Amino acid sequence: MKAKISVLVSALLALVWLSGCTEKTENDFDPFMAGLTNGSYLKGKATFDPGTNTWTDQSVLANTLDAGNLANARVGVRVRSWGNDPVATANIYVVRNTSANQTAWRFIKKYTIADGDTSYFDINVSAQEIATALGLQLNVNTGNFAPGSIFTCYVEAVTKSGKKYTINNSNFSGSGANFYYSIFSFRASVVCPFNPATMPGNYVVVTDQWEDWAPGDIIPSPITATTATSMSTFGIYPNMAYPGANSPQTWTINVNASTGVATVTNQYYGKYSTSPSATQYAVSTVGTGNFIFSCTNPVVMTMLLNHHVFGAPTVSAGQYVLTLRKQ
């Protein structure tokens, strides 16, 4: 258990307000809006609700790749040409993780748009196409399509006059930027549907930055119960071999059955002192990189946990990665 305290605060606020006097139809905007008559790009599908004066993005067809069914997995977006100089060709590239550096992009395929065609069409990219472009094997091994891996597909819009637009030379910050619903990139995240039947057993510690355990330590049967969307744990924290550790409690990990995303919210797990007034420690997951990879062999659990005072997550002792592999 670490005694140091780490505080991390991040804030991001974005607000877009649209209004106008003319009647709006699907993905059409008031002509006074800057940029709508200049430049060209692929616009994602969206619908307008006049009752609330709001738009709903309907461009994403799929953004996850099922690690248990990579042969049939694909991601995609629904788009159409937009601009005075219509898009004639859409070149699709891919990179592992995310990078605006075009020298790192690898070409997948291109879509040709007929002159004058402004109808919607689907851009689909399969896991096999990503594998071929990047020279990967279509499996869940490390370095290929391990659950938790992210791939970003980038769109290069080539207009009728031959101009080329990407995320690097447009005025947009990315897919769906503001109200333009511009599609210059879309993401593929490798996920792993949760199978509770695979979870019980002993676990080997891969990483415990909280340092209750050392790499290679074995935690005997820490999974005490499972449901279709959760599992209860006991014996991970506190490590009862730690001096003063007492009052261990069961804490529950909620799991998204479709993706394997793990969530823990303010779960009390025990103390590190025998004093009656000793701090009651709890954990909560932090961020988006928390997964239960139950489809892999061996099963892997990996989470970034905020260790904090029970009932007060902001009274933090720090955020530490825990990764366990089934023995």
Give the span between the Cα atoms of 257 and 135, in whole angstroms. 30
Cβ 167 vs Cβ 237: under 8 Å: no
- CA dist 311 and 284 (Å) reads 11
Instruction: Please answer whether residues 53 and 18 qualify as being in contact, where contact means their C-beta atoms are separated by less than 8 angstroms.
Output: yes
CA distance 297 to 300: 8
Specify the pLDDT at position 201: 97
Instruction: For residue 137, give both structure tokens.
Output: 């094997």
pLDDT at position 2 is 55
What pLDDT, on the 0 to 100 scale, is given for residue 33?
40
> Across the chain, how many H-helices and E-strands are there?
1, 23
Q: What is the mean pLDDT of each run of 10 residues along the chain (327 residues)?
A: 36 29 40 48 85 81 90 96 92 96 97 95 98 96 89 95 89 52 90 93 97 97 97 96 92 94 95 93 90 88 95 92 96
Check: CB of residue 172 under 8 Å from CB of residue 41: yes
The pLDDT assigned to 305 comes to 96
